[in-house]
Amino acid sequence: MNETITKRDVHQPLGRRAHTLPPAAIAFLWSRTGRLKEAWEVVQALGNWSAAGIRPDRGGLRLTLGDVRLGHLLWNGRIDLPFGPEAAEQLVAEEMAIRDPSGSHTGRVVFDIQTADDVNRALWLFRFAYLIGDPS
């Protein structure tokens, strides 16, 4: 991999600075996960989407596209996606994701990025979240 995590400032939304953690801190957190390469591929792909917002927090990265909240990429490589109950049920039935283990949100699903193949599914889930997302 030719790029380092601190080379490109992808956590900045277009036109405004949403800087809560310095790039070195983000690099340190991601270096503590065994899924750095796969998670970074997702971050890079989402960072190339027009109007993408990627903001670090203590649990991972919050991902938005315009006014639509896409989900959350946790430091352990798990993505947490908010869907309505019907869409979540369909994703679980088709084994595209699993229910939120905490059970606190009826429409929330999660997916663990573990392999290179999982990167494509994660990006598909984020696209789906955008297409059916509610910008309110």
Residue with tokens 């190339």: 48
Note the pLDDT of residue 71.
92
Q: Which amino acid is at 123?
A: L
Residue with tokens 């392999």: 115
Q: Which amino acid is at 122?
A: A
d(CA 112, CA 44): 17
Q: Which strand (E) or helix (H) includes residue 17? A: none
For 10-48, the pLDDT digits (tens) are 444 434 444 455 666 666 665 655 667 888 899 899 888
Coil, helix or strand at residue 78: strand
- HSE, CB side, 13 Å, CA atoms: give it for residue 113: 29
Q: Which domains does the chain have, with CATH numbers?
A: 23-132 (3.90.1150)
Residue 73: band (very low, low, confident or very high) from pLDDT cuts 50, 70, 90: very high
Taking CA 94 as the corner, what is the angle to CA 91 and CA 97, rounded to the nearest 5 degrees?
Answer: 45
- HSE, CB side, 13 Å, CA atoms: give it for residue 19: 8
Q: Which strand (E) or helix (H) includes residue 102? A: none
| Average pLDDT over every residue of 97-116 | 84
In the chain the first and final C-alpha atoms are separated, in Å, by 38
Other beta carbons within 10 angstroms of residue 104's beta carbon come to 7
Provide the token pair at 4: 């380092």
